[in-house]
């Protein structure tokens, strides 16, 4: 059996891995490699390895998910903390079917930008962008709590991309005319679905580290593990809700495969070459499906999945580029 010292050792390793933002797969690899290095009885290690792996996996999921929930890669403060100076966005809602969708609107220039967060997530993931003076001059900005997250009926997620796009479609409509959609991670294929289903309301898109490739978005071991009763009990609710979106994602992406060719608006994909969550090969997939000449792919060599926050300057540049390329579509 695993001795108490090994459990303490595992806890220290997992805590360090979580602090370093390692993925669960990387975390388990680090742990088992360290156990190999410490253990002086390889046969004993092999005998109990399965039990160790299961126990460590549960512990890793718990600690990593708690760390991520407590320390997201974007600020989570009050509206005054997020926007210490004016202007500040205004909270709004709308009703669709039997749902209430919450979003925040930052008044600004003549264009319209709609931000779609990943999974899990909330509108605050876009606070840095909504506070950007250059974007404020160019556009009114909308950041939504997607169905099932934030204040939009928490826990009531919608895994089918076309249904979720229909729930978000009212955000595309405004006095500014057609919208530029910016999506991150799972917000990428949702943004693509909006363009596919409502092409007359989307003037362009920027998709950052988007989960769009059906060949690389298969559920991972921890997605299946999170369906277990014990795991559901110990991880934050947001991660269980997120998992319900991830498990059927490949099938949803396969439905989009033949529809990319019909898109005519400018679409830019930004992909980090060191992304541990969305496979960097997504860049090549995007190159193959985005219609030319309006489709563009920007690979960021030194960035991972959080390129959205680590290189906000680069992403803002791509948003401004799409605004410039579609300026003729503004309402006079």
pLDDT digits (tens, 9 = 90+) for 282-296: 999 999 999 999 999
Q: Check whether residue 206 and residue 309 sit in a common domain.
A: yes
Q: What is the DSSP string of 127-193?
A: HHHHT-HHHHHHEEEEEE--TTSTTSSTT-----HHHHHHHHGGGG-STTBSEEEEEETTHHHHHHH
**Could you tell me if 87 and 64 lie in one domain?**
no
Q: Which of 21, 41, 70 is the last residue of a domain?
A: 70
Same domain, 17 and 140: no
Q: Which two tokens stand for residue 105?
A: 């609107």
User: How many structural domains comprise the chain?
Assistant: 2
Question: Do 165 and 99 belong together in one domain?
Answer: yes
Q: What is the pLDDT of residues 12-66, one digit of tens each?
A: 444 444 444 444 444 445 444 554 444 444 554 454 555 455 555 555 655 555 5
Residues 163 and 209 in one domain: yes
Q: Note the pLDDT tens digit of each residue in 296-329.
A: 999 999 999 999 999 999 999 999 999 999 987 6
- Position 162 pLDDT exceeds 70: yes
pLDDT band with cut points at 50, 70 and 90 for residue 2: very low
User: Does 122 lie in the same domain as 47?
Assistant: no
Asked if 35 and 167 sit in the same domain, the reply is no
Q: Is residue 235 part of a domain?
A: no
pTM: 0.83
What is the rounded distance in angstroms from the CA atom of residue 131 to the CA atom of residue 313?
Answer: 13
253 and 294 assigned to the same domain = yes
Residues 42 and 153 in one domain: no
111, part of any domain: yes
Other C-beta atoms closer than 10 Å to the C-beta of 37 total 7
122 and 9 share one domain: no
Query: Which residues form the domain of 37?
Result: 4-70
Please check whether residues 50 and 88 belong to one and the same domain: no
**Beta carbons of 187 and 216 less than 8 angstroms apart:** no
Mapped onto helix, strand or coil, the DSSP state of residue 323 is: helix
> 3-class SS at 210?
coil
Alpha carbon distance 52, 33 (integer Å): 12
Same domain, yes or no, for 152 and 170? yes
Does the residue 315 lie in any domain? yes
């Amino acid at each position: 059996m695993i001795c108490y010292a090994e459990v303490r050792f595992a806890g220290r390793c997992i805590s360090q891995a979580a602090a370093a933002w390692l993925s669960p797969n990387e975390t388990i690899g680090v742990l088992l490699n360290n156990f190999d290095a410490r253990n002086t009885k390889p046969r004993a290690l092999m005998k109990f390895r399965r039990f160790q792996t299961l126990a460590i996996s549960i512990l890793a999921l718990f600690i990593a998910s708690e760390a991520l929930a407590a320390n997201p890669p974007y600020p989570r403060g009050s509206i005054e903390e997020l926007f210490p100076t004016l202007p500040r966005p205004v909270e709004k809602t709308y009703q669709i079917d039997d749902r209430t969708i919450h979003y925040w609107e930052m008044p600004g220039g003549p264009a319209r930008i709609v931000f779609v967060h990943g999974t899990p997530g909330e509108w605050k993931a876009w606070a840095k962008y909504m506070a950007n003076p250059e974007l404020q001059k160019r556009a009114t900005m909308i950041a939504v709590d997607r169905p099932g997250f934030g204040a939009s009926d928490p826990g009531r997620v919608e895994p089918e991309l076309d249904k979720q796009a229909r729930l978000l479609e009212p955000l595309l409509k405004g006095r500014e005319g057609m919208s530029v959609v910016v999506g991150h991670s799972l917000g990428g294929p949702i943004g693509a679905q909006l363009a596919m289903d409502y092409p007359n309301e989307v003037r362009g898109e920027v998709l950052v580290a988007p989960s769009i490739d059906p060949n690389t978005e298969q559920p991972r071991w921890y997605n299946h593990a999170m369906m277990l009763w014990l795991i559901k009990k110990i991880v934050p609710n947001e991660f269980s809700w997120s998992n319900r979106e991830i498990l059927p994602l490949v099938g949803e992406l396969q439905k989009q495969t033949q529809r990319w060719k019909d898109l005519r608006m400018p679409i830019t994909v930004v992909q980090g070459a060191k992304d541990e969550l969305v496979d960097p090969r997504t860049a090549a997939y995007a190159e193959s499906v985005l219609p030319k000449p309006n489709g563009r792919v920007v690979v960021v060599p030194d960035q991972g999945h959080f390129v959205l926050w680590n290189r906000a300057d680069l992403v803002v540049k791509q948003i401004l580029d799409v605004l410039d390329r579609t300026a003729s579509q503004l309402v006079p």
